[in-house]
Amino acid sequence: MTTARPDIAPAEPWAFPIPRETLLDNGIRLLTYDIPGQYVVSVRVAVPTPLTAEPRQLEGIATIMARLLDEGTARHTPEEFAELLERKGIGLGAGMTESAVIAELDVAARHLGDALDLLRQMLAEPAFPEAEVRRAVATRKAEIEQERASAPHRAGREFVATFYDSAERASRPTGGRVDTVAAITRDDVVAFHAAHIGPRGSTVVVAGDFTGLDVPALVEETLGAWSVPDQAPAAAPVRARRAVDAARVVAVDRPGSVQSEFAIGWSGPDRHTDLGWAAYQVLSFVIGGSPTARVDAVLREDKGYTYGIRSAFRPRRVGGTFVTSGSVRTEVTVDALRLLLDILDRTREGFTVEEVRDGVDFISKTAPGRYATADAVAGEAATLALDGLPLDFTTTNLQRMAELTPEDLHAAVNAVVTGEWTVVVVGDATAWLDGIRDLDRGEVTVVPN
């Protein structure tokens, strides 16, 4: 007996959910997404706090402060606070981005009220115990040393230091340097929190199954009670200036390394670009976003030089970068760099209909899966809020993506790819330095690891 194969129909139209929006009396913007079946509720609190607010001599203090928020409150010791979280199965923590402190909470729906109260305590009245501050500082200093030993981290750090003007905060690590982190005291952390962390201008996103819950009321009773009368507004984001000598090659010498790590890039757009963010998402995929993309088709599949190299447009609040990164075997470093720069330069010549279709299909048809959980929805919504984008941006961006043509991608890539590149190579410079100089891709500078 033969069974006929079913017809494959096009996917049904999909849209990112639209939230209920409420403005609380204390200035919090509340976005609630009722998602049936998502019984673990996810909460994001985005507090605008740009890294530029850090004192130059204490860079890294925002990261330290964010990590310490869940280490006890005015009411509970660190041990008591941890026990309360464990008792109700609450996942709670915070971290720092370029432009905000992000607090994350995940909890079973039945414990949402208790969890929101602990979240309020964490944000409004953290204890910052002296011993925990010392531990966080020591941990961060050790991390910096570990990052220096990691070729991808080292390449990334050297890339921003080369690409951005040295006066810009963007040219230095988000988590600070050893000397600036070592200078941080408990009094500094307390003062930074008091000056920059408050409800006005913050966004709270709650996503999950709200059956039997009055989420706006629960948030009003807890986070709505958070008050900082003297809270100063966060500074408006500005574009970080590019270094005047950004178009050059920097070799980070790591004697004996069996691989070379690349970080190659130039300016890119933010999500507000007039040419549409959809084009840049597809460009990322087509140029270096998958094993079938242009970069890996040559360097991995044809040459066998690498396990994988990736390209992506990385938006900031204002402006952004286009970065290609990955590693190759030391003995093929020069040829790999030559091929890679040639591939990137030739993106200005255009793209085929098939390339556009493949990129559009992958990104748009996997979107329902990417945003199938409350956690993903909350994270995306918090990002939209921080970037000042409309709440239907994800949907309209995908709709625009479906209409992209090769001409659209050609215009988008030529708006940012100029043929100038900041190139960082981390590895054994004695094996390839002369060959890279012979490529004549700009001034070559050697720095120690």
Does domain 249-448 bear CATH number 2.40.40.20?
Answer: no
**Which pTM was predicted?**
0.94
Are the beta carbons of 330 and 427 closer than 8 angstroms? yes
Question: What was the pLDDT predicted at 1?
Answer: 63
Residue boundaries of the structural domains of the chain: 20-225, 249-448
pLDDT tens digits for 91-130?
A: 999 999 999 999 999 999 999 999 999 999 999 999 999 9
Question: What was the pLDDT predicted at 10?
Answer: 77
Mean pLDDT confidence for 440-448: 95
Report the percentage of the chain scoring pLDDT > 90: 94
pLDDT tens digits for 228-258?
A: 988 888 888 999 999 999 999 999 999 999 9
CATH superfamily of 20-225: Metalloenzyme, LuxS/M16 peptidase-like (3.30.830.10)
The yes-or-no verdict on residue 177 having pLDDT over 80 is yes
Question: What was the pLDDT predicted at 144?
Answer: 97
Note whether 20-225 and 249-448 share their fold.
Answer: yes
Question: What was the pLDDT predicted at 299?
Answer: 97
pLDDT tens digits for 178-205?
A: 999 999 999 999 999 999 999 999 999 9
